[in-house]
Amino acid sequence: MIPLSVLDLSPVPEGSDVSASLANTLDLARHAERLGYRRYWLAEHHNMPGIASAATAVVIAHVAAGTSTIRVGAGGIMLPNHSPLMVAEAFGTLEALHPGRIDLGLGRAPGTDGRTAHALRRNMNADIDSFPNDVVELINYFEPEQPGQLVRAVPGAGLKVPVWILGSSLYGAQLAAMLGLPYAFASHFAPAEMERALEVYRTRFEPSRYLDKPYAMLGVNVVAAETDEEARLLFTSLQQAFVNLRTGRAGKLPPPLAGYGETLEPAARAMLAHTLSTAIVGSRETVRQGLDAFIGRTGADELMVAAQVFDHAARVRSYEILAEVAGGMPA
């Protein structure tokens, strides 16, 4: 079994609040560490009532301080929302506090709607195609300080925080290949170009001081339970959340709803079938078969597993069952 990692959006269920969600995030991270998951990543999203990880570096600090061995990182930081220097300082600080345990995944999208992006950035005239230059600038802030260097990341310089490129299209694949960086593809919600992006990344990869060969991590939704029926019921929370988001009704994570799929219009069903086509939902045997098929199809080097489950105990149990299925994950 290839390494498995956790992607946590720190979901806020209906009837709950952010404080409880952040406590649940730390609890899940501790379980993930005990179960042998390699990384625990949090994602930057804004103006979304159901996601508590907007201040991603702060939540990473919370998780890293409450664990001891698992790698903790961003999946990712949406770089257009920040200056490279400020990101370098934040993650340099995290690396100084938790040496050898911090990852930095970088994304090109804003992680929100246009109006919120404007509130984040104020100046929307920045060219999105500056992303490659911003990535290089950020990486350079982690290099040892050079004589005469006028702008430094303090903390940050010389700490060499591992940088990943995130993507849901061919753009990120090309950039990761060109820079010789590890690549994480968002197949858990945008699988359309997954296979083509992997081909581009692997065929165009240029060895670097960071990697001598391509390393691709793929996002995948996995909801595991004692039975297929129970897992499918738990999965309806994520299905509802996606439909709500796509129809302009984003809110907190809804509770499971039996028969939810039968209530949907054909267009909504088709959207879910496409968006969540890589999801693996079911009992141990169903999940085992799904994992084998997905890994065999993609040749993934690592999987980043998301599980948007309404009940925290059921979410923890889903990751426990997945770890059992994995049968002793690589360190």
Residues of CATH 3.20.20.30 domain(s) within the chain? Answer: 1-161
Amino acid, single-letter form, for residue 295? I
Residue 13: asked if its preceding bond is cis (omega within 30°), the reply is no
Q: Which residues contact 106 (CB under 8 A, 6 or more apart)?
A: 74, 76, 77, 79, 135, 138, 163, 164, 165, 166
Class of domain 1-161: alpha beta
Omega cis (within 30) before 299: no
What DSSP state is assigned to residue 254? P
pLDDT in tens, 111-169: 566 777 767 665 555 555 689 999 999 999 999 988 888 999 999 999 989 999 999 99
Question: What's residue 127's pLDDT?
Answer: 56
Triad 46, 47, 53: Cα angle to 5° = 45
Distance (Å, whole) CA 237 – CA 138: 37
For 230, the token pair is 């129970």
Where the chain has pLDDT below 70, the residues are: 110-113, 118, 120-129, 328-331
pTM above 0.85, yes or no: yes
pLDDT score for 331: 41
Tell me what pLDDT residue 125 has. 57
